[in-house]
Amino acid sequence: MTGPPLNKRSFMERLHDVAKEIDMGELKDMKYLCRGDADSPVSIPKAGLEKIESPMGLFLKLKEQGSISKDDTRLLEYLLNKIRRKDLVKLLHDKE
């Protein structure tokens, strides 16, 4: 059994790279966008949002509930665009 090519970063590595660039204010904004009201594309219960303390924690929660995956990053792209971090959308898709 072989793994992915060494020159390609995994989805989790890319999530980690993006997470490192998000500050706490941006995390707060992203969590707000995930609160589950009529304008929100995703719903994380308030108690779940309160437990999230890092950008990677938010990404893992979204992955756990099936809102993002290596094949579907539309929600994460939406969140990053809403916090005006188009540079991180590019980083998410940068596979090398």
CA–CA dist 15, 75 (Å, integer): 13
Which domain range does residue 77 map to? 22-93
In a domain, 3, yes or no: no
CA–CA dist 11, 36 (Å, integer): 25
| Span 11-36, pLDDT tens digits | 999 999 999 999 999 999 999 999 88
Give the chain's domain count: 1
How many angstroms separate the Cα of 89 from the Cα of each of 11, 36, 46, 52?
A: 13, 22, 26, 21
Against a cut of 0.95, is the pTM above it?
no
| Span 61-71, pLDDT tens digits | 999 999 999 99
In a domain, 66, yes or no: yes
